[in-house]
Amino acid sequence: DVKVTQSSRYLVKRTGEKVFLECVQDMDHENMFWYRQDPGLGLRLIYFSYDVKMKEKGDIPEGYSVSREKKERFSLILESASTNQTSMYLCASRPHQPQETQYFGPGTRLLVL
């Protein structure tokens, strides 16, 4: 069974804080993704990585950065958290093509005060 874990289920931070969200997958997948999910807006891709140290911007990268130093770990960084970054953050992983199935973690619900 594929397992994708995220460091926290719930997180409360203050405006201006630096926030780290960690994601780990145990299936040796090359591709990893960070999404955010907001009511009425669905899932939106923030960043993805197709290999160690490689990253690509998704649809909404502003205000975020990522780090992939090891294959199994993909970190999302909010350099200076703002209230509009309050959201559910979802990590996913996927092996290389042609397989397109993405496996998601349980999500981190972040509240920025």
Partner 1 sequence: DAKTTQPPSMDCAEGRAANLPCNHSTISGNEYVYWYRQIHSQGPQYIIHGLKNNETNEMASLIITEDRKSSTLILPHATLRDTAVYYCIVPTKGSYQLTFGKGTKLSVIP
Return the residue of 33, 34, 64, 74 that touches partner 1, per CB under 8 A.
33
Which of left, alpha, beta for 75 (phi over 0: left; psi -120 to 50: alpha)? beta
Residue list 75-94, contact with partner 1 (CB under 8 A): 88, 90-92, 94
- Residue 106 contacts partner 1 per CB under 8 A: yes
Residue closer to partner 1, measured from CB, 17 or 37: 37
CA 110 distance to own-chain centroid: 12
Q: Which of 48, 52, 56 is nearest to 32 (CA)?
A: 48
Alpha helices in the chain (DSSP H): none
Least distance (Å) between residue 16 CB and partner 1: 27
Q: What sign does the CA torsion over 100, 101, 105, 111 have?
A: positive
Single out the segment in contact with partner 1 by CB under 8 A; choices: 12-20, 54-62, 65-73, 75-83: 54-62
Residues at the site binding partner 1, with contacts judged by CB under 8 A: 4, 31, 33, 42-43, 45, 48, 50, 56, 58-59, 88, 90-92, 94, 97, 100-107, 109
